[in-house]
């Protein structure tokens, strides 16, 4: 009842009110970024939503498109402007996502929408985070944001899926406001924000001559169409593309 009926109405009402109230700030940021980013105000990227359905998430663009002499983008720290750092620190870069909420792609509260490249890397438990709409804020964000590990983030996400309720959403929203004003969880932004999720499920691929090689199960699935779930195998990491 709450998830399918009350929560969408609550999202629409609250997002509309916030967008109207924050419209002066929204417009000021638009004007500043227009000049800082040479006309490019918004950052759009495809992300998986509920049931893994792809949508385009929108944020304020906090990094310029500066390139070196060979045409490659400069490192993130060199493209992040001073105003961009401030916008991120105050989480104002997420403000345009209210439009995603109004459009029905996102919720105010839910697991954060991650890169679509991560979809084949999830195990069955982690994949449950897509049973609800992704959120602007979530249980993982108020419990550490960028200071907790990926496994812990996913554990928080799945816990939220199992316990979603009106009062839990209110609690998360209030905690989010408190953390934004205290700037908690953002101090480690530059160290942890860009660390990719890495698959921790692994398999042992037995080769000829008694040789063996440990590889991520997602790779074996693509090659052999099978998957191993041996809990005795040690951890191996599997990277994925950087978010820009």
How would you label 7-20 residue by residue, b for 16+ Cβ within 10 Å and e otherwise? beebbeeebeebbe
Domain range summary for the chain, segments of one domain joined by +: 2-192, 198-244
Cα-to-chain-centroid distance, residue 90: 17
Length of the chain: 244
Reported as a pLDDT band with limits 50, 70 and 90, residue 50 is very high
Which residue blocks in the chain are alpha helix, DSSP H? 7-21, 23-36, 76-79, 82-89, 97-102, 150-163, 166-182, 189-192, 217-224
Distance CA(122)–CA(215), nearest Å, equals: 15
Distance CA(32)–CA(124), nearest Å, equals: 43
**% residues pLDDT > 90 (the chain):** 58
Reported as a pLDDT band with limits 50, 70 and 90, residue 216 is very low
Strand partners, 205: 213
Burial tier of 173 (Cβ tally within 10 Å: 0-12, 13-18, 19+): middle
Query: DSSP letters along 37-78, please?
Result: TTT--EEEEEEE-GGG-EEEEEEE--B---B-TTSPBPPHHH
pLDDT recorded at residue 91: 87
Count of beta carbons in the 10 Å neighbourhood of residue 103:
13
Structure tokens at 124: 């069955």
Distance CA(93)–CA(30), nearest Å, equals: 11
| Mean pLDDT lowest among 7-16, 68-77, 149-158, 177-186 | 177-186
| Mean pLDDT lowest among 16-30, 71-85, 136-150, 181-195 | 181-195
pLDDT recorded at residue 184: 62
CB 121 within 8 A of CB 238: yes
The whole-number average pLDDT for the span 162-183 is: 92
Residue at token pair 């638009």 = 30
β-pairing, 107-109 vs 135-137, is: parallel
pLDDT at 137 > cutoff 90:
yes
Count of beta carbons in the 10 Å neighbourhood of residue 158:
19
């Amino acid at each position: 009842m709450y998830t399918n009926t009350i929560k969408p109405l609550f999202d629409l009402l609250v997002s509309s009110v916030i967008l109207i109230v924050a419209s002066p700030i929204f417009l000021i940021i638009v004007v500043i970024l227009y000049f800082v980013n040479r006309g490019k105000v918004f950052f759009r990227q495809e992300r998986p939503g509920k049931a893994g359905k792809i949508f385009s998430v929108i944020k304020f663009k906090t990094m310029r498109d500066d390139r070196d002499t060979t045409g490659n983008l400069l490192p993130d720290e060199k493209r992040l402007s001073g105003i961009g750092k401030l916008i991120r620190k105050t989480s104002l870069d997420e403000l345009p996502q209210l439009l995603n909420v109004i459009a029905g792609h996102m919720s105010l509260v839910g697991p954060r929408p991650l890169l679509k490249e991560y979809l084949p890397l999830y195990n069955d438990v982690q994949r449950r985070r897509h049973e609800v709409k992704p959120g602007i804020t979530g249980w993982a964000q108020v419990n550490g944001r960028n200071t907790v590990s990926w496994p812990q983030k996913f554990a928080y996400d799945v816990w939220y899926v199992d316990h979603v309720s009106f009062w839990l959403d209110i609690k998360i929203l209030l905690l989010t406001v408190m953390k934004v004003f205290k700037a908690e969880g953002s101090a480690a932004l530059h160290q942890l924000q860009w660390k990719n999720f890495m698959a921790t499920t692994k398999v042992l691929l037995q080769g000829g001559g008694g040789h063996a090689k440990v590889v991520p199960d997602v790779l074996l699935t693509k090659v052999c169409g099978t998957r191993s779930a041996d809990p005795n195998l040690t951890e191996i990491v599997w990277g994925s593309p950087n978010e820009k």
